[in-house]
């Protein structure tokens, strides 16, 4: 298939895959761009493979990964279609969990009550705003590490 300028439109296969995935979700380019956390103009360039000046658009790997994740396309496939190295996609760096909830639960169940409370406090420090008088997370972590070290010493002494 050729475009108005006579260029083969299939020369930018990533754009077609992103457009199809976006259409399947019933999203506008604005919706997809918002989900990917960049501008509609950037999304348009990803789909067309062209910048506003009609020169080829050469996106960074992170841009391709974010666009793919936004519309549920495999990021490795998207990177290949953009002629980028698919090994640039590392799920942990892309916001994907590296541990399952089940695994975390099993690990937490091995902790003492005091250690579990420290873990809960640490998680809360990530999810809830801290009051102005609260110690910094690193300070709280150090405090709890000291508690853990004291417990190990007590355990060794009692053996």
Q: Where a domain ends, among 54, 88, 122?
A: 88
Tell me the per-residue pLDDT of 30-76, one tens digit each, with 9 for 90 and over: 999 999 988 999 999 999 999 999 999 999 998 999 999 999 999 99
> Model's pTM, two decimal places?
0.53
Residue 66 and residue 120 share a domain: no
- The partner residues of 8 in beta bridges, in order of sequence, read 2
Domain of 50, in residue numbers: 9-88
Q: In degrees, to the nearest 5, what angle opens at C-alpha 116 toward C-alphas 110 and 119?
A: 115
């Amino acid at each position: 298939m050729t475009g108005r300028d006579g260029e083969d439109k299939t020369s930018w296969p990533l754009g077609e895959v992103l457009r199809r995935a976006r259409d399947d979700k019933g999203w506008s380019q604005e919706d997809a761009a918002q989900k990917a956390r960049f501008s509609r103009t950037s999304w348009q360039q990803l789909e067309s493979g062209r910048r506003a000046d009609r020169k080829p658009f050469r996106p960074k790997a992170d841009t391709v990964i974010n666009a793919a994740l936004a519309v549920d396309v495999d990021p490795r496939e998207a990177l290949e279609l953009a002629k980028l190295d698919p090994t640039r996609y590392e799920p942990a760096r892309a916001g994907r969990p590296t541990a399952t909830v089940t695994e975390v639960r099993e690990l937490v169940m091995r902790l003492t009550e005091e250690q579990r409370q420290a873990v809960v406090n640490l998680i809360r420090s990530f999810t809830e705003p801290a009051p102005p008088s609260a110690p910094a997370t690193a300070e709280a972590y150090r405090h709890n590490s000291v508690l853990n070290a004291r417990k190990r010493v007590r355990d060794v002494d009692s053996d």
